[in-house]
Amino acid sequence: MSWPKILDRHQSLWFLITGPTLWALHFCTVYAMTAIYCEKLGDEAGPLRLGILGVTLGALVLIGITAWLSWRQWDYTDDWDYEHDGLTVEDRREFIGHAGFLLCVVSVIGVIYVALPAAFVGSCV
């Protein structure tokens, strides 16, 4: 069976933005959890912080998987190609992998940054 083109990560731009999309989902989830918990369930944030830890670990695992797939697609150790400025299919494939990998790195930093306040702040007030 052949995959529809849109699901082929070698030529689909959607895989380029998987990392930051996961960042966005993590951000929205954490924001919504906090907004609802602090308004409805009280000021002591213990369970909320555990929840945020869980969501964060989940997001990091998913971004990690994406990063690994992008790294394989970039295939850096194969030919040490870094620029991808040629006209071949390989250049395009490795470019999407490379850019996707870099975006995963930013997304990991973003997710950790966003979760850090929950490591230090113990209450909603």
Helices of type H across the chain = 18-40, 46-74, 76-79, 89-120
**Least gap, CB of 88 to other proteins (angstroms):** 8
HEC letters along 49-68: HHHHHHHHHHHHHHHHHHHH
Burial of 50 (0-12, 13-18, 19+ CB in 10 A): exposed
**Least gap, CB of 61 to other proteins (angstroms):** 19
CB atoms within 10 A of CB 10: 14
- Residues 82-111 interacting with other proteins (rule: CB under 8 A): 82-87, 89, 91-92, 95-96, 98-99, 102-103, 106-107, 109-110
Q: Which of 7, 31, 50, 53 binds other proteins (CB under 8 A)?
A: 31
Which residues contribute to the site for other proteins (CB under 8 A)? 11-13, 16-17, 20-21, 23-24, 27, 30-31, 34-36, 38-40, 45, 48, 82-87, 89, 91-92, 95-96, 98-99, 102-103, 106-107, 109-110, 113-114, 116-118, 120-121, 123-125
